[in-house]
Amino acid sequence: MQGHAEPVHHEEMLINMGPQHPSTHGVLRLLLRLRGEVIESARFVIGYLHRCHEQLTEQNGWIRAMPLPDRLDYLSPITSEWAMALAAERLAQVEVPERAEWLRVLSSELYRIASHLVFVGTFAMDVGATTMFLYTFRERELLLDIFEKLSGQRMTCHYIRVGGVGWDLPSGLDAEIRRVLKTVESRLPEYDDVFTNNRVARARIEGVGTMSAERCRAFGASGPVARASGVDFDLRRDAPYGVYDKLDFDVVTGERGDCLDRLTCRTMEIRESIKLCRQALDGLPEGDIRTKLPARFKTPEGVAYGAVEGGRGECGYFAIGDGGEAPYRLKIRSGCFSNLHLIEKALAGWKLADVVAILGSIDIVLGDVDR
């Protein structure tokens, strides 16, 4: 009879999402406890892609281990290269030529653009907008072509070295970089029309997976994830390295800390990186690109921390030197690892269909998480 219907009892269900699932953005395992379609609790499991980078560097030495950072955040390899070189240079008090510093900024910002393009494309595909993936990878190919001409490699480029960079700009690449930057910039409004301002897409991401600034600080989050929640912190401005203190750029922040803010922060950062690349090309001085190091490069006793602002947050290398060719101890501070810890509380209360949107908005690379 009406008014005397039996209450519906939902049984809990424990499911695994990943580690083989494409929408977990790599070999990440999410253990989800569901009541119906609503997530009651979530736990992530990592460790499927351990790179052993820290121990390999302690065994093989600074110079022989320099190609390894590319395998961590492989979508923005310059980040890890620069942080590792910075730690070694601070330990050994190596002075980097000014031209090399400008080239480091240029290469870093070019790869930040490429990295954010991957984020926009894959995040859009997570919520069903397949066309955006094709658009962003179209532009990313232009940037990878530049790195192939600069270093011989498209992704694991091994461009930054202790004391400078591996290669100077080839003849004519300056003009090509400017053309590519103009092309990417001209297509950003198209991204907004197709995806960001699409009402179906906004219904999937606006107000979803909110993270407060207090929570971001508590978990040590950094990069666009933290800035989207209103944490106004960027190492390029607040702890300058290279020649960032000579350049003009804005630190992009959000307010709500939802999936939409994390998307718009990154698209706006692409615009800022384009601005920085043009300044780096305009201000590029003449001179050497690398300091000559001893045949057996050694770091003295002491401690140093080299940190840079990567596409996914603060990437830092904490090193202890003991006078040898290798650090006595090396510890990597991964932005992805800290940011990923936000996921468990961020998923609680949302539906199963929101998992890929919230996880995708954090933009992790598992090679950088597991190290």
pLDDT tens digits for range 72-110:
999 999 999 999 999 999 999 999 999 999 999 999 999
Tell me the C-alpha to C-alpha distance, in Å, between residue 260 and each of 13, 117, 167, 312: 29, 15, 39, 16
Res. 222 pLDDT band, cuts 50 70 90: very high
48-71: pLDDT as tens digits: 888 899 999 999 999 999 999 999
Is the pLDDT at 4 greater than 70, yes or no? Answer: no
Better pLDDT: 12 or 348: 348
pLDDT tens by residue, 132-179 = 999 999 999 999 999 999 999 998 999 999 999 999 999 999 999 999
Q: Cα separation of 146 and 32, whole Å?
A: 42
Average of per-residue pLDDT values in the chain? 93
Give the per-residue pLDDT at 1: 40
CA angle 359, 200, 212 (to 5 degrees): 40
Kindly state which CATH superfamily the domain 12-370 is placed in: Cytochrome-c3 Hydrogenase, chain B (1.10.645.10)
At 10 the pLDDT is 60
Alpha helices in the chain (DSSP H): 53-60, 62-65, 77-92, 98-126, 130-151, 173-191, 199-205, 213-218, 223-228, 235-238, 259-283, 335-340, 343-347, 355-362, 366-370
pTM for the structure as a whole: 0.94
- What is the spatial distance between Cα 303 and Cα 292, in angstroms, rounded to a whole number? 23
- Residue 318: beta bridge partners? 305, 331
344: its two tokens = 């468990």
d(CA 266, CA 158): 25
